[in-house]
Amino acid sequence: MLLGLCLRNYQSLEHLELGLTRAVWERALAAGASAAELDSLSRLQELTVLIGRNASGKSSVLGSLGLLSALMRHDLPYATNACDPDGFAGLLRHGSREPLEIEVLLSLPGLSRPVCYRIAIRADAEGRPRLASENLALLPGARTDGSGRTVLEMGEDGGFCELSGEARQSLDAGDRKRALLPLVGRLTGEGLPRAVLAELSSWYFCRFLEDAPGAGMRLDASRHERQGPHHRLNETASNIPNVIAWYERRSPALWRKIQERIAAVHPAGRRLREDWLKGSLSAAEERFLALLLLLEDPDPRPLLLIENPDSGLYHDSVTSLGDELRRYGLRHEQSQIIMSTHNPVLLESFAPREVWVLSRGAGDRALQASALPLVAELYEEGIGMAAIWYAGHLEDPATDTRGEPDATS
C-alpha cells in the first residue's frame, strides 16, 4: 500500500509531500519515536480523496503515480510520451534545471517497516529523459525492529544492487534510458526488488475519465470479436466487451453475480453488453458502468488512481458511486484507491482522515483534513464532510484564498 509520496519538479509542483514520507519517518526516528508512535504518523489510507482549488496539483499527483507505474513497464522515452502529449518536456517543471523526482513510501506484506523507492529523471542535451539517480531502501524501524538497508543505488557514476542470497554487485550507468528496478526485480526470484516491482507495475491509472465524454469507449462488435476475450480492463476501458466475453466464457456464474451487483446500483447493469455495443448509453453512463465493472474485478489491483470519477453524474449516481467505493475498500483490504473530486456529494462518503487538501501559495502543501481546525470535532458531532466543505473549513489556513478569484485549471 502507498503510505505517501514526495514530488520535486513535476509539472507545476516544485516540492510537494503528501502523506507519510521518508523525511517524516526519519525525523520521527531521530526524535526517539516508539513503534506505536511511528504507527500513528499520518499516512494515506485505503481510500484517499484529494481535494483543493483548481491548479492545486491534484492531477499532477495522480499523473506522477501513473508515470511511476509506466516506468516499471517501459523505457523512459516511451513512458513519458505516454503520460504527456509533450513528453518529458511536459512533465518537467517549466524552467527547472533540476531533475524530476518521484519518491514513494510503501507498506508491503510481511514487513513491519516501510520501503522507500525514489527515481530522478533529468533531460539530456537534446531534452530527452535520462535516469539521473535511483534508490530502493528498507527504512529503519524503532529500536527493536532492526536497522535499514539500501538494496539498490544508482548515481551519475554508477551504483550497486543486492540480489537475493548474493553479495552486493556493482552496476554500470549504461545508457540511462530505463529504470533499473524493473531489471533487478526480474532477475531476482524473490526479495525486496521483486516485491516492489510487482506492486508498482500493477497500479492502474484510470484514463477513461480524462478525455472528452465518450472518447475511445464506443466499439463496433466486429473489432472486439477479432480481439477476443480480455481478462481485465485496459486503462481507457475500450475493451469492455472483451472483458464481458472473458467472463461469459470463463466464469459465467461470476458474471451473473457481477451483473446483479451492478444492476442493484444502476438499471443498465443487466443489459450492459447489449446497450454498450448498440451505443445507447450516454457518455456519463458509460463511464459510470466502466467504473462499476472496474470495482467488481475479482483480482483487484493494489492501487487504483481515479481523477474525478463523479464527472457528469447525477447526484444519486454520485451517492451510489461513493457507496461502491466504500464497499470495494471493505472487500479488498490489501487494495487502495486514490482519487480526486470537486464534488461535495461524493466527499460525504469519506472521513476526515481519508481526505487531503492540496493548496498552492508560498509553497506546495498537502494537509490531512483531520488536522485542520475544527474538522475532526465537527465530524464527530455528526456533521458531514459536504457541510464542512461548504462552510469553508476544508481550506489550508496558510493559503486560504476565499473571496479571491479562483485560479484557472
Tens digit of each residue's pLDDT (9 = 90 or more) over 152-161 = 999 988 898 8
In a shared domain, residues 174 and 224: no
CB-based contact 384:345 (threshold 8 Å): no
pLDDT tens-digit series, residues 366-377: 999 999 989 999
In a shared domain, residues 126 and 239: no
Determine the distance from the C-alpha atom of residue 223 to the mean position of all C-alpha atoms in its chain, rounded to a whole number: 31
Q: Is 290 helix (H, G, I), strand (E, B) or coil?
A: helix
Q: Pick 232 or 19 by higher pLDDT.
A: 19
pLDDT confidence band for 164 (50 / 70 / 90): low
Q: Which residue type, as a one-letter code, is found at position 13?
A: L
Residue 399 lies in a domain: no
pLDDT of residue 303: 97
Residue 333 lies in a domain: no
189 grid coordinates: 526470484
pLDDT of residue 210: 57
Nearest alpha-carbon partner for 103 in 29, 7, 170: 7
In a shared domain, residues 124 and 259: no
Tell me what the mean pLDDT of segment 336-360 comes to: 95
Residue 29 lies in a domain: yes
Summary mean pLDDT of the chain: 87
In a shared domain, residues 290 and 162: no
Looking at residue 92, the DSSP 8-state letter turns out to be B
From residue 352, how far is each of 172, 371, 383, 385 by CA, in Å?
A: 47, 8, 11, 7
Residue 307 lies in a domain: no
Residue 288 lies in a domain: yes
Tell me: pLDDT of 223 over 60. Answer: no
pLDDT tens-digit series, residues 83-106: 999 999 999 999 899 999 999 999
| Strands laid side by side in the 100-106 sheet | 13-19, 2-10, 100-106, 115-123, 129-138, 149-155, 158-162, 168-171
pLDDT tens-digit series, residues 175-222: 789 999 998 888 876 689 999 999 999 999 998 765 433 444 444 444
In a shared domain, residues 249 and 278: yes
In a shared domain, residues 174 and 225: no
pLDDT tens-digit series, residues 323-344: 999 999 999 988 999 999 999 9
pLDDT confidence band for 361 (50 / 70 / 90): confident
Residues 6+ positions from 290 with CB-CB distance below 8 Å: 208, 217, 233, 237, 240
pLDDT of residue 245: 87
The residue written with cell numbers 449516481 in the block is: 317
Q: First-to-last CA distance in the chain?
A: 30
pLDDT of residue 182: 93
Residue 315 lies in a domain: no
pLDDT tens-digit series, residues 262-319: 888 876 666 666 776 677 777 777 788 888 889 988 889 999 999 999 888 888 889 9
Domain count for the chain, please give it. Answer: 2
In a shared domain, residues 38 and 88: yes
30 grid coordinates: 531521530
In a shared domain, residues 185 and 82: yes
Q: What are phi and psi of 335, to 5 degrees?
A: -110, 160
Residue 330 lies in a domain: no
Domain that holds residue 75: 2-203+349-390
In a shared domain, residues 150 and 247: no
Q: Which residue type, as a one-letter code, is found at position 297?
A: D
pLDDT of residue 226: 52
How far apart CA 105 and CA 408 sit, in angstroms, is 31
Q: Pick 233 or 222 by higher pLDDT.
A: 233
Q: What share of the chain is helix, strand, coil (3-state, %, to 5)?
A: 40, 20, 40
In a shared domain, residues 181 and 245: no
pLDDT of residue 401: 55
In a shared domain, residues 230 and 357: no
Residue 341 lies in a domain: no
Tell me: pLDDT of 408 over 50. Answer: no
Long-range contacts of 264-269 (CB under 8 A, 24+ apart): 265/292, 265/320, 265/323, 265/324, 266/292, 266/317, 266/320
Least confident of 48-57, 68-77, 230-239, 345-354: 230-239
pLDDT tens-digit series, residues 102-135: 999 999 998 889 999 999 999 999 999 999 999 9
pLDDT of residue 197: 96
In a shared domain, residues 112 and 24: yes
